[in-house]
Amino acid sequence: MIRLLIADDESLLRMAFRMVFEAEPDMEVAGEADDGEQAARLARYLRPDVVLMDVRMPGLDGIEATRRIVRDSPRSRVLILTTFDLDEYAFAGLKAGAAGFLPKNTRPPELLSAIRNVAAGEAALSPRVTRRVLERFAPQMTPGPAERDERLAQLTAREHEVLVQVARGLSNAEVAAALHLAEATVKTHLSRVLVKLGLRDRAQVVVFAYETGLVRPPPPTSDHRSHGGGQAQEDGT
């Protein structure tokens, strides 16, 4: 059974989420919060598997609440809700330790699938979308030389290769093809990377790679479209 905590200041939205989740045989709503302070407190008390976190709430916002939950309730994983896929809140949520983010208009089947993935220890979104968010907002980071993080010395050469490929947005199957490995072998290497670097999922792998300078954003382009629905589509698929 996946225990959920819903954090949103809109009571009607919380009610709608509850109705969707409680119709599922493997989910139960452990609690609700209408602000970040309450969400962080309930996460410590209820120990939910997944926290569905709005970012714009009165008082303590969802980003700081996520940071506190990741710090104080490590077994609980956070899914950030954003207006668009590619916005500053998605970036801030990943930096704060969220397992992923979803737009608020995500269809119920996709939302339920994301929650199950997160509860199983996976990231909630495709690595390409994570990468694109970081490419947009990575200039806000100030990465130094990759050698500055001593944890990297623990990785084997192959694990280092897998780390870089995952951070560039490749799926396990794509990493396997690029490195001429079996997909199961890639999964094994990635699991070891997570353990050695103290990371929880692919989303944190991407953030780590950008912060340490292993992967850097591409040069700026002339594409200055605003954060709209068109950008939320992934690679034209």
Q: Which residue has the higher pLDDT, 4 or 134?
A: 4
Is residue 217 in some structural domain? no
Q: Which residue has the higher pLDDT, 202 or 3?
A: 3
Reply yes or no on whether the pLDDT at 146 is more than 60.
no
Q: Which residue has the higher pLDDT, 149 or 202?
A: 202
Is residue 234 in some structural domain? no
Reply yes or no on whether the pLDDT at 151 is more than 90.
no
Residues 6+ apart with CB under 8 A from 170: 127, 178
pLDDT value of position 94: 83
CA atoms within 13 A on the CB side of 4: 25
Is residue 54 in some structural domain? yes
Q: How confident is the model at residue 142 (pLDDT cuts 50, 70, 90)?
A: low
Measure the CA–CA gap between 59 and 63, rounded to whole angstroms: 12
pLDDT digits (tens, 9 = 90+) for 21-43: 999 999 999 999 999 999 999 99
Is residue 115 in some structural domain? yes
Is residue 57 in some structural domain? yes
Largest Cα span, the chain: 51
pLDDT value of position 25: 95
Query: Do 105 and 180 fall within a single domain?
Result: no
Whether the Cβ atoms of residue 196 and residue 162 lie closer than 8 Å to each other: no
Q: For the chain, what is the domain count?
A: 2
pLDDT value of position 210: 80
Measure the CA–CA gap between 160 and 208, rounded to whole angstroms: 12
Query: Do 102 and 167 fall within a single domain?
Result: no
